[in-house]
Structure 1
Amino acid sequence: MTTPLWKGLKEEEIEAILPCLRSEEKFIKKGEFVYRMGDPISSLGVLLQGKLSIEHDDLWGNKTILSMITPGNIFAETYACVPGEPLMVNIVAIEDSRILCLNMLHLLTTCERSCPHHNKLIRNLLAILAQKNLHLSRRSFHTAAKTIRARLLSYLSYEASRQGSLSFDIPFNRQQLADYLNLDRSALSNELSKMQKEQIIICHRNHFLLHTDSFDEMDF
């Protein structure tokens, strides 16, 4: 499995270090919780197969999707770094999933031999944490806009820039996109329809095409 956590490590080094990290493989069926809000976490997870959703539910049942986890990505690492800190989100399998759990205490504590591959692993984890902080900052930037259109354009502009094309796919369906941008799904769909009629975008399911020559005429 390719994951940023193993960057710079050879296959034999990964196999050698897994027992030191008290690794455990788990299978989670679609719709089941990997972790629930309030759970204490001691291990980070590496998604080997499937897809996970990190979600927050308030007391009134309103759900916000914070991110989607795809194979190779890690999750729960922040809470695993703070023993006893209760989880503030739910982590749910939206496909049948296979997960590798690694004990954070053993990951952060180098073994007696101070093996170089363990040090690489720690550096990789710090880089991943920094990238995730950037992701949360981007989401906050997208949702800071007051109007539905401004939030959509902020997110779609970012995806176009990230993927280097005005024609691109996003990793969300309509409900997931609404949750990610903290919007009502019906209001989101209505705004997308308006934007298509105004020839600002063309969208089909999760594929988008942006018409930048229309931007100058738009009133947000």
Structure 2
Amino acid sequence: MKKIQLTDSHKEKLFQIPLFRDLPLNIKESLLEKLDFVIYAANKKEIVVTQGTPCNKLFVLLEGKLRTDIIDGLGNEVMIEYIIAPRTFATPHLFNSNNTLPATFTALEDSVILMATKDSTFKVISQDPQVLHNFLCIAGNCNICTVSRLKPLSRKTVRERFIVYLYEHKKKDSLVVDIMHTQSQLAEYLNVSRPALSKEINKMMKEGLVIMEGKRIEILDKTTLEKYL
């Protein structure tokens, strides 16, 4: 990665992230003065940070898209999520007693990342109640997301993983799920092969459990599906 200059566009995106959103103008101006940061440009497929390294920076993806992968206990690479700008990532690990990064973050396209020092980030958070509140909300939401992500991976069969995924992503009182992944990405997300996932979805459609059109899935037999949860 190479260092680049902070632009007005970068500033605008920085203040769109939940951590710094809706702050008064004077706080925004002082924040940039207090925060000790560097802006990096990452090329497509370039590794931004690697699993197992200490998290000593606040990471903010200002532009682009990252892929998050972990290496499990068996040495398998498991895709966790895609991170789309503007967004912080690995935030809860910054002030954790064990601040080792649990995943590797790789640029899926040309991206821009802000990295701020731990000390300056702490200074900003501790001096403004709104930023502190935002940080605590982000940390809590990240924990919820982690639990949600691990649920399908804890299941053994392709069908179980797919059904858990559907229920984790469907809105309350809705039987329609709009998924963000292509079928190849979804297979990777569920840590199964694409042919196995495609075969299972086709079986479920023939059994009258779901209908799938593109990225939209409609649950037809809620009672049967919920037996797998």
TM-score after normalising by structure 1: 0.82
Conserved 8 A contact 1:139-1:181? no
After superposition, the Cα gap between the structure-2 partners of 1:128 and 1:68, relative to the gap in structure 1 and judged at 3 Å, is same
Within the alignment, does 1:189 sit opposite 2:203 as a pair?
no
For 2:38, give the aligned amino acid: E
CA distance in 2, matches of 1:4, 1:43: 17
Within the alignment, does 1:21 sit opposite 2:44 as a pair?
no
Query: Which residue in 1 is equivalent to 2:136?
Result: 126
- The CA deviation at 1:161 is 1.6
- The CA deviation at 1:64 is 0.8
In the alignment, structure 2 segments of 5+ residues that lack a partner are 1-12
For 1:135, give the aligned amino acid: C
Moved more, 2-11 or 56-65: 56-65
Conserved 8 A contact 1:110-1:119? no
For 1:208, give the aligned amino acid: R
Secondary structure of the corresponding residue to residue 202 of structure 2: helix
CA distance in 2, matches of 1:60, 1:151: 19
Q: How does 1:44-193 map to 2 (within 5 A)?
A: 44-58=58-72, 62-82=76-96, 85-109=99-123, 115=127, 118-161=128-171, 165-193=174-202
In the alignment, structure 1 segments of 5+ residues that lack a partner are none
Which structure's relative contact order is higher, taking Cα pairs within 8 Å and 6+ residues apart?
1
For 2:158, give the aligned amino acid: I
- Counterpart among 205, 219, 222 of residue 211 in structure 1: 219
Within the alignment, does 1:200 sit opposite 2:209 as a pair?
yes
- The CA deviation at 1:10 is 2.6
User: Identical aligned pairs, as a percentage?
Assistant: 30
For 1:189, give the aligned amino acid: S
CA distance in 1, matches of 2:90, 2:210: 36
- Counterpart among 18, 35, 38 of residue 49 in structure 2: 35
Conserved 8 A contact 2:209-2:224? no
- The CA deviation at 1:138 is 1.5
Per-residue CA deviation, residues 112-141 of structure 1 (Å, 9 max, x unaligned), is: xx75xx332122111100001011111223
Moved more, 43-52 or 54-63: 54-63
CA distance in 2, matches of 1:62, 1:185: 16
CA distance in 1, matches of 2:162, 2:151: 11
- Work out the number of aligned pairs and report it: 213
CA distance in 1, matches of 2:153, 2:98: 30
For 2:66, give the aligned amino acid: L
After superposition, the Cα gap between the structure-2 partners of 1:127 and 1:160, relative to the gap in structure 1 and judged at 3 Å, is same
For 2:147, give the aligned amino acid: S
For 2:223, give the aligned amino acid: D
CA distance in 1, matches of 2:192, 2:171: 23
For 1:20, give the aligned amino acid: K
Conserved 8 A contact 1:24-1:100? yes
Secondary structure of the corresponding residue to residue 223 of structure 2: helix
Conserved 8 A contact 1:160-1:167? yes
CA distance in 1, matches of 2:184, 2:75: 15
CA distance in 1, matches of 2:185, 2:25: 36
For 2:20, give the aligned amino acid: W
- The CA deviation at 1:186 is 2.7
